[in-house]
Amino acid sequence: MAGKIEHHALPRASFQNEPKVLIVVAPYYQPISENLLKGAKTEILASHGTFDVVEVPGALEIATAIGIAERLEKFDAYVALGCVIRGETTHYETVCNDSSRGLTLLGLQGLCIGNGILTVENVEQAEERADPEKQNKGGGAAAAALHLLSLSHKWADNKKGIGFKAD
């Protein structure tokens, strides 16, 4: 079980300016999403960031909401939160694969996204992973987004003054 193995966590990212983060949550399983959200908010605040929260109907809509926000608003990073529990049909695979693929494609375009969409076999697994006092996957997703943002700032700063500059 993953909960029994000790994990290494990177030091918390730090910033010169407050990062503005959008948390997109699918509250289909509300008690689980509330715990994911609690963990994410705590991590963002600990990094001296600010956040907005929006809700979407389900995990499949999370990437679309992030894409819209990137075009129409100004956020530094994004946190995707939701839960997909295996059912009796193949819909589980579609939702898991397509929600993950959507976030990956946005990330490859340069968006800093932490994926906190749980994909689990049962409610007990979801509760364990969402609980901020246990696996805290919401906090982990926020930390991932902030680490990617920190890396993007680091690499952007390294490019100043390098290369050909036309007059």
CB environment 108-133: b (16+ within 10 A), e (fewer): eeebbbbbbbbbbeeeebbbbbbbbe
Is 123 in contact with 2 (CB distance < 8 Å)? no
Catalytic residue among 7, 48, 91, 147: 91
Rounded distance between C-alpha atoms, residue 56 and residue 74, angstroms = 19
Indicate if 91 belongs to the active site. yes
Both tokens assigned to 34? 């509330």
Active-site residue set: 91
